[in-house]
Amino acid sequence: MMFGNSIIGHLSLVEQFRRIIETERFAQAYLLCGPAGVGQFHFALEFARAVNCRESQGEADCRCLSCQKLLRYNHPDIRIFMPLPFEIMRLFDKKDNEVFYQQVNNLILQRIEKPYESLEYPKMSSLSIEIVRWIKREAQVSPVEGKKKIIILDRIEEMSLPAANAFLKILEEPLNDVFFILITSQLSSLIPTIISRCQIYQFRRLDLEAERQIAAKLIKKTCSPFLLSLSRGSIERLLKLLSDEDLPQLRSTVLQGIGHFVEGDPGGIVEWGEKMQSFFSQHRTINPWQSFCSILLFFYYDIFSALTLLDNEHFQNQDFKEELTLFSKKTELSVVIEAMIQIQRVQQALQQNIQPGIAFYFLLSKLSMIHLRRMNDATV
Ligand SMILES: [Zn+2]
């Protein structure tokens, strides 16, 4: 069995690492970079598992002792370091060792079990020079069970400068049967001397199909297309969106707005504009303005589908199908197309850092104009 059969997406990287495992010519350090939440940590774990697996190359459900130990994080040859919550690092400073190691182990286990979600605490510590000393001690111990000692460093951009310099010294020393896997979403924050000592592998955003497959595996249900689009190829973002309690309210409020537009109800539109503004100021929906535009666009897309009698499967918002079909009967294709063009323009403007409040009122007036003009034409 070959490496990577449990990795979805990143096909060419899987190919490259397959060759590394087959030739057994390991570099001293691999640097996995690219946008956050697309699966670098999972990839690093799978690579580490494959290198030390006793039966295959880390087949997805391998029962060998080495693979089982890695998944329980008690494999002596695979160590993981990452920025830790401030509260826990304080125990480290106090040399309250037993409690400290226990808590760290629990967090790392949690990270292994949910490899697409990085730890989030109000206050996180950097990867300090003390941690680097700990890494050094680990690196000096040769593998005891596996082929290689593998040290995974997650979010290495969180390394302080003195720590980074100390770490560089470790990379410069010859080590026996030890290699590092470094992970970052901010390559430009690393010191160039570290980068130059690594083999660099660039991860990209997951394509829609890969993301759909991973989501189906992780949450065991199909994800709506609009959520997949909002997450922009990051599983971490997708999972956050799924647990975002404000999102359903945002969707139903946006839907009400479209109702006012297609009815040609200026009073309702103004009221809705105020309601949206207060939503934006009160709620913590992830990236509210981009979410708003995407939701709006997907609703219009469905009205478009209803008007052009596209197949049912093209419907993005199955849960609001009835409302959207009704809206389609009160408007016409040219209006919907024009509205979609305007929403996309505002989306682009938002990416170029236009002030969201201005973008919102611009869009509101454009959509009003497009819809109300159609109403006026109809009454003439
Ligand atoms: Zn195995």
CATH number of the domain enclosing 280:
1.20.272.10
Backbone angles phi, psi at 151, to 5 degrees: -115, 120
- C-alpha 60 – ligand 1 centre gap (Å): 9
Q: Give the CATH number for residue 21.
A: 3.40.50.300
Let me know if residue 227 belongs to a domain. Answer: no
Q: Which residues pair with 199 in a beta bridge?
A: 30
Query: Which residue, 204, 239, 272, sits at the end of a domain?
Result: 204
Query: Which residue, 204, 228, 256, sits at the end of a domain?
Result: 204
Let me know if residue 176 belongs to a domain. Answer: yes
- C-alpha 3 – ligand 1 centre gap (Å): 11
Q: What is the largest CA-CA distance in the chain?
A: 86
Residues 164, 42 share a domain: yes
Let me know if residue 4 belongs to a domain. Answer: no
- For residue 185, which of 145, 234, 257, 123 has the smallest C-alpha distance? 234
Residues 305, 191 share a domain: no
Let me know if residue 160 belongs to a domain. Answer: yes
Q: What is the pLDDT of residues 26-64, one digit of tens each?
A: 999 999 999 999 999 999 999 999 999 999 888 888 999
Q: Which of the four pLDDT bands, split at 50, 70 and 90, describes residue 364?
A: very high
Please give the pLDDT value at position 312.
66
- C-alpha 50 – ligand 1 centre gap (Å): 7
Residues 22, 170 share a domain: yes
Please give the pLDDT value at position 230.
81
Residues 160, 275 share a domain: no
- In the predicted model, is pLDDT for residue 380 greater than 60? no
- C-alpha 147 – ligand 1 centre gap (Å): 12
Q: Which residue type does 209 have?
A: E
Least confident of 136-140, 200-204, 212-216: 212-216
Q: What percent of the chain has pLDDT over 90?
A: 67
For the chain, give the secondary structure using H, E and C.
CCCCCCCCCCHHHHHHHHHHHHHCCCCCEEEEECCCCCCHHHHHHHHHHHHHCCCCCCCCCCCCHHHHHHHCCCCCCEEEECCCEHHHHHHHHCCCHHHHHHHHHHHHHHHHHCCCCCCCCCCECCECHHHHHHHHHHHCCCCCCCCCEEEEECCHHHECHHHHHHHHHHHHCCCCCEEEEEEECCHHHCCHHHHCCCEEEECCCCCHHHHHHHHHHHHCCCCCHHHHHHHCCCHHHHHHHHCCCCHHHHHHHHHHHHHHHHHCCHHHHHHHHHHHHHHHHHCCCCCHHHHHHHHHHHHHHHHHHHHCCCCHHHCCCHHHHHHHHHHHHCCCHHHHHHHHHHHHHHHHHHHCCCCHHHHHHHHHHHHHHHHHHHHHHHHC
Q: Are 163 and 129 in contact (CB under 8 A)?
A: yes
- C-alpha 215 – ligand 1 centre gap (Å): 25
- C-alpha 80 – ligand 1 centre gap (Å): 19
- In the predicted model, is pLDDT for residue 328 greater than 80? yes
Q: Which of the four pLDDT bands, split at 50, 70 and 90, describes residue 311?
A: low
Angstrom CA distances, 55 to 26, 52, 76, 156, stand at 20, 9, 18, 32
Most confidently predicted of 176-180, 247-251, 287-291: 176-180
- C-alpha 102 – ligand 1 centre gap (Å): 25
- C-alpha 54 – ligand 1 centre gap (Å): 5
Q: Which residue has the higher pLDDT, 260 or 315?
A: 260
Enumerate long-range contacts of 101-106, CB under 8 Å, 24 or more apart. 105/73
Structural domain for 333, as ranges? 247-379
Q: Which residues pair with 80 in a beta bridge?
A: 152
Q: What percent of the chain has pLDDT over 70?
A: 97
Let me know if residue 49 belongs to a domain. Answer: yes
Q: Are 236 and 213 in contact (CB under 8 A)?
A: no
Q: What is the pLDDT of residues 112-150, one digit of tens each?
A: 999 999 888 889 999 999 999 999 999 999 999 999 999
**CA triple 124-126-127, angle to 5 deg:** 130
Residues 154, 15 share a domain: yes
User: Quick one: average pLDDT of 98-114?
Assistant: 93
User: Quick one: average pLDDT of 236-248?
Assistant: 88
Let me know if residue 269 belongs to a domain. Answer: yes
Please give the pLDDT value at position 90.
87
Please give the pLDDT value at position 224.
78
Q: Whole-angstrom Cα distance, residue 239 to residue 231?
A: 9
- In the predicted model, is pLDDT for residue 167 greater than 80? yes
User: Quick one: average pLDDT of 270-290?
Assistant: 85
Residues 69, 161 share a domain: yes
- C-alpha 124 – ligand 1 centre gap (Å): 34
Residues 252, 148 share a domain: no
Structurally, the chain folds into a number of domains equal to 2
- For residue 79, which of 198, 163, 181, 167 has the smallest C-alpha distance? 181
Please give the pLDDT value at position 176.
83
Prediction pTM value? 0.82
Q: Which residues pair with 32 in a beta bridge?
A: 183, 201
Q: Supply the mean pLDDT for the chain.
A: 90
Q: Which of the four pLDDT bands, split at 50, 70 and 90, describes residue 231?
A: confident
Most confidently predicted of 206-220, 222-236, 261-275, 307-321: 261-275
- C-alpha 96 – ligand 1 centre gap (Å): 35
**Token digits of residue 68:** 């089982």
Residues 324, 198 share a domain: no
Residues 148, 35 share a domain: yes
User: Quick one: average pLDDT of 101-109?
Assistant: 94
User: Quick one: average pLDDT of 193-217?
Assistant: 93
Q: Whole-angstrom Cα distance, residue 155 to residue 149?
A: 20
Q: Are 340 and 300 in contact (CB under 8 A)?
A: yes
- C-alpha 73 – ligand 1 centre gap (Å): 14
Q: What is the pLDDT of residues 71-95, one digit of tens each?
A: 999 999 999 999 999 999 888 877 7
Residues 296, 165 share a domain: no
- C-alpha 15 – ligand 1 centre gap (Å): 19
Strand 149-153 and strand 78-81: the pairing is: parallel
